[in-house]
Amino acid sequence: VQLQASGGGLVQSGGSLRLSCAASGRTFSNYGMGWFRQAPGKEREFVAGVSTAGLTDYADILKGRFTISRDNAKKTVYLEMNSLKNEDTAVYYCAARGSPTAYLVVSKAVSEYDYWGQGTLVTVSS
């Protein structure tokens, strides 16, 4: 499956952005989807994920500010980001996980995801 992330940009602290990740190729609904981010000099970290059954999970520090959703008809996963902070500045990546456990399990591990998009840069300014 090929993934194309979009929607990043420059936003002021406290603002909002919605990222999109469009998939093509194999059956999108069979894949658990995740958003990760990587700030300069830091490791890639889990942001949010949604299973094929629609279950969601978030990084603890982001709960309440970020919302992940998927539209299987459009083969797209979204990440709604609100109350953005300077520390949210990073390249955001979407990823797809094809494991049979992706039905009910949202994995937070980078190694569990099979396909990755190219990333979209989010910059939050003061």
pLDDT score at 2:
96
Who contacts 96 (Cβ-Cβ below 8 Å, separation ≥6)? 1, 3, 23, 31, 32, 33, 34, 113, 114, 115, 116
Angle subtended at Cα 116 by Cα 113 and Cα 117, rounded to the nearest 5 degrees: 155
pLDDT at 52: 96
pLDDT attached to residue 117: 96
Tell me: pLDDT of 26 over 80: no
Between residues 88 and 126, which one has the greater pLDDT?
Answer: 88
Q: Which of 96, 94, 82 is nearest to 35 (CA)?
A: 94
pLDDT of residue 21: 98
pLDDT tens sequence across 32-56: 999 999 999 999 999 999 999 999 9
